Amino acid sequence: MRQTAAEITAYFKALNFAPEPTNDTVTFRGTMGKSQSQALYLTFCGFMSLAALAIVLTIMFPLVNEKDFSPWYYMCLASPGAGAYYWANAGKDVTVQVKMMCPLHNQIVGFRV
C-alpha cells in the first residue's frame, strides 16, 4: 500500500500537482496546461474541414467561372480561430482527492476528481 501511495504521489508530482495532505485524504491541486501541438492540430483540422466545405459549396453554388479562384475558399482563413480559441480557454485548475484504505478490510483505494 505504501508503494501504491508513492507511485500515485510521484505521478501527480510529475504533472506539477502539489500535494496537500489532510486527515484521511491527499488532495492534489494543479493546472492542466496548454499544448501547442494540440492548438496546431486543431488549426489543421479546421483548415481541412473548411476546405472540404469550400469544395462542396463551389460545386453546388458556383460564384465564378470554373477557371477562376472561388471565393468560397476564403473561409479557410478562419481556421486559425480554432487554435486561438483553444489557446485562450485551455488552461484549467484541477483538484484530485485520493483516499487510501487498508486492503486487509476489503476496502479499496478511492479517487475523487
Indicate the domain borders of the chain. 1-33+92-113, 34-90
50 vs 74: CA distance, rounded Å: 9
pLDDT band, residue 14 (cuts 50/70/90): confident
Asked which of 26-30, 46-50, 55-59 is least confident by mean pLDDT, the reply is 26-30
Torsion from C-alpha of 81, 63, 51, 47, nearest 10 degrees? -20
82 vs 17: CA distance, rounded Å: 28
53 vs 39: CA distance, rounded Å: 21
Does residue 113 have a pLDDT over 50? no
Residues in the chain: 113
Predicted TM-score (pTM) of the model is 0.63
At residue 43, the 3 state secondary structure works out as: helix
